[in-house]
Amino acid sequence: MTLAPETTDLKVQLSLDGEWFTVCDLSTLLPGRGVAALLPDGRQAAIFRDRTGELFALDNRDPFTGAAVLSRGLTGTHRGRPFVASPLLKQRFDLASGQCLDDETVRVTAYAVRTA
C-alpha cells in the first residue's frame, strides 16, 4: 500500500539578514530527515522537521570536516534537546541553537525558520 504524499501550500522560510527567504515546500520535509537548501550567498542550510512537526535550520557545513553534510545526518534527542549527528564523525549539533553537544567550543549557525 502506498500512501499519498502530504500536500500543502505552506512554504518553509529562513530569516536571512532580517528578511524571510523561501527555501522549500513544507511537504518536502519528512519527519526525522533533513534537506539541504542553497542560500542566495552560496552557503547551504540544512532544514529539519522533527516528529512533532517543529522546524529547525542549521548551516549545512560540518565544522569538523568542512563537508556540507549535516542535512544527511541522523536526528535524535539528548536530555530533551533535539540534535542532528554529522554522518561523518558523528558530532551532535543542537537543532535549536547550533551548539555542538560533544565540543562546547564549536557551534554552527542556527536560522530562525517559519512557514508561510
pLDDT truncated to tens, each residue of the chain (116 aa)?
555 555 568 999 999 999 999 999 999 999 999 999 999 999 999 999 998 899 999 999 999 999 999 999 999 999 989 999 999 999 999 999 999 999 999 999 999 999 99
Tell me the longest C-alpha to C-alpha distance in the chain.
Answer: 48
42 DSSP 8-state letter: S
Which amino acid, 13? Q
